[in-house]
Amino acid sequence: MAKKNKIENQKTKDLKQFETDASGKVMTTNQGLKVNDTNNSLKSGERGSTLLEDFLLREKITHFDHERIPERIVHARGSGAHGHFELYKSIPEYSKAGIFNDTERKTPVFVRFSTVAGSKGSPDLARDVRGFAVKMYTEEGTWDLVGNNMPIFFIQDAMKFPDLVHSVKPEPHREIPQAASAHDTFYDFVSHATETLHNQIWAMSDRAIPRSLRMMEGFGIHTFRLINDKNESHFVKFHWKPKLGVHSVTWDEAVKINGADSDFHRRDLWDAIDSGHFPEWELGIQVVAQEDEHKFEFDLLDPTKLIPEEMVPVQIIGKMQLNRNPENFFAETEQVAFLPGHIVPGIDFTNDPLLQGRLFSYRDTQLSRLGSPNFHQIPINRPIGEVHNNQRDGHMQMDIPKGQTAYFPNTLGGGCPHLAKMAEGAFHSYEERIDAKKIRTRSESFSDHFSQPALFYRSLASWEKQHVTEAYIFELGKCTQKRIKERMLWLIAQIDTDLAKNVSKGLGLKIPKEIDQPINQAIGADADVKNHQPPKKKNYLDSDPALSQANTKFDSIETRQIAVLVADGFSMSDFSAKKKALEKEGAMLKLIAPHGGMVVSDDNTEHEVDAAIMTTESVLFDAVYIPGGKKSMQGLMKESKFKKFINEAFKHCKTIAADHEGEELLDKTFVANYNDDKAILINEKPATLIKSIAQHRNWDRMQIAAQVPA
């Protein structure tokens, strides 16, 4: 034992020489160079492009890109599918890109959806931003639109990306919590980097817990350029609008879904495509003329800002359909490599400092994760056109280049591969004039951190605002440091006073009148802090209806999951009438019975049970229907979980329908007291049931539903 202790003590001594403690120390690079600013990349002017010579940016991001292997550092948990894109109308006035001008094309696509913060094995229903990455295999080359389901990002400069991700990832000393932002390090960061507040309030909304990957929007986030044949530039933001509308689950449901089916989103996407219910999104663009770059009260190059659709409407120009599941998850969904730097002629970049950093970071990450500069040769990443250049060899080279030469210019190879001419579709960068000082700072036009979060909150329906309040209470309630909670309360009050008051009540804390540290620490140590404080919020628009899910589409029940509660003796006449009408509209009916196997209707026909009541939960379904049948009701009432199933569906504001004797089961639940509820349907026609389910939820019930026991 003494010898063992001696060995352990020596091991401890050996490890201690490698321990570091940053307390009271100045920041340095990995070479010991003292650092004055770790918040801003080096640019050609305040709003200029990021410079390749920025060794501080490269060191910081390179280390971050390589700190996890082999799964993605962020967006590790993903689901993918194949499909195609079709153009509705050509837009030659904006872009010369073939994908935006040839309405006869069907461009192949592969889309990967993902959560951001969790590891590969984390559950689907985490409160999180969702990745929405689209790879388009165009005839002119591959175009990757690598976005999210929220139109803005947390930070303004790529230099801050490692800090953001480190703050939201599990705390390093104990590696918890997983796939969750409700902890001290995240809110410590958010409360000091106020540029995060816009994306953060979106993450507190229902947008962070979508009902389905098929029912969420996608955004390119950044402002890009479109270039036409005359080499004229227009600014553009890209939108994906789901044909099924934008719908979410409640937080209470999300928690329970993670327990009942942690693969809920992945399974939902796969099953929808497998059953022929192909999800679709329309591609929309917001276009701003080059000369109008500075006409707004926000900066187009700021990735934490959106362009309100009330100011610049979205023009719908095409449609994407996903219609084929991957054959092998690893070979396709896991190995697909998206790079924002993959563009085609007619599309170009802007000086958005987050985008500029991503152009470097994504390629660097793929080199680490996929292990070779030849990752473009993996089948899922191969372009549809031929590839010819003088890049050779490398780990996992899968092509067999022929010929004597691998350089340019040459005569031994006949000058091949030769350079393409502009007329042949060669890429040409937009010739933007640059005349600026080399500087590490941030434009003051990026400093407004409160106006757009306030606009977002003002635009929400009352039930959405309630959910935002509850999310803040939950998230901040998980923090252990009082000063972090109070700092967040002060910041929320700058966004909306009523929101802050409601959150403060839930936390049992007062909103501080002031905070004792500078708000904006997204600047260098020697910068003038006073001149970089976020100004008070502006109201340049009372509301933008497009920001609220209350204004989404409510005209389809396709792929909605309907739980049909049955036992032996259920009414076949009731069931068949509803089944025929619901399935005609694309809904999916699932028989839930006291047991598995088969259940017999009152006409003595057998029906296969989809789930025994003890193996499923109401949170997995969009609505509940109970056919009549006296014997069936007797069987259902013997199992108390059927009552819990109905009560929970009521609590989550879903449609509940019953025919004839089915009402007897409802009378044994919380529903009995609220038969006048517009989404409680007794002996109603199928058309009424369809219309009710299409509304997604009856949010008028929310205050009553809150009284239902969990």
214 assigned ligand-binding residue: no
DSSP state letter for 629: -
Q: Residue 317 is inside which H or E element, if any? A: strand 315-324
112 assigned ligand-binding residue: yes
For residues 519 and 521, what is the distance between their CA atoms, to the nearest angstrom?
6
Q: How many CB atoms lie within 10 A of CB 106?
A: 12
For residues 604 and 225, what is the distance between their CA atoms, to the nearest angstrom?
66
Beta-strand relationship, 233-242 and 280-289: antiparallel
DSSP state letter for 679: T
The single residue of 75, 183, 239, 449 carrying the catalytic annotation is 75
Tokens of 506: 């839930």
Phi, psi of 187 (to 5 degrees): -75, -25
For residues 136 and 624, what is the distance between their CA atoms, to the nearest angstrom?
39
For residues 205 and 251, what is the distance between their CA atoms, to the nearest angstrom?
10
Amino acid at 482: K
Q: Residue 504 is inside which H or E element, if any? A: helix 497-507
Residue 308, by phi and psi: left (phi above 0), alpha (psi -120 to 50) or beta?
Answer: beta
Tokens of 57: 């940016």
For residues 488 and 200, what is the distance between their CA atoms, to the nearest angstrom?
11
Amino acid at 287: V
For residues 575 and 624, what is the distance between their CA atoms, to the nearest angstrom?
12
358 assigned ligand-binding residue: yes
Known catalytic residue at 75:
yes
Query: Residues 168, 210, 275, 219: what is their CA dihedral angle, to the nearest 10 degrees?
Result: -80
The single residue of 39, 101, 148, 698 carrying the catalytic annotation is 148
For residues 598 and 609, what is the distance between their CA atoms, to the nearest angstrom?
5
Distance in angstroms between the alpha carbons of the first and the last residue of the chain: 53
Whether omega before 417 lies within 30 degrees of 0, making that bond cis, reads yes
For residues 556 and 104, what is the distance between their CA atoms, to the nearest angstrom?
28
Residues with Cβ within 8 Å of 96's Cβ and at least 6 positions away in sequence, in order, are 227, 228, 229, 345, 346
Q: How many CB atoms lie within 10 A of CB 282?
A: 16
Amino acid at 673: N
For residue 466, how many C-alpha atoms fall within 13 Å in the half-sphere facing its CB? Answer: 11
Whether omega before 177 lies within 30 degrees of 0, making that bond cis, reads yes
For residues 278 and 322, what is the distance between their CA atoms, to the nearest angstrom?
6
Indicate the burial class of 219 (C-beta count within 10 angstroms; 0-12, 13-18, 19 or more).
buried
697 assigned ligand-binding residue: no
Reduced to 3 states, what is the DSSP secondary structure of residue 403? Answer: coil
Known catalytic residue at 294:
no
Amino acid at 166: H
Residue 403, by phi and psi: left (phi above 0), alpha (psi -120 to 50) or beta?
Answer: left
Residue 591, by phi and psi: left (phi above 0), alpha (psi -120 to 50) or beta?
Answer: beta
483 assigned ligand-binding residue: no
For residues 250 and 314, what is the distance between their CA atoms, to the nearest angstrom?
28
Pick the closest to residue 236 from 270, 285, 188 (CA basis).
285
Where is the binding site, in residues? 72, 112, 161, 358, 362, 369
Where is the binding site for heme, in residues? 72, 112, 161, 358, 362, 369
* Residues with catalytic function: 75, 148
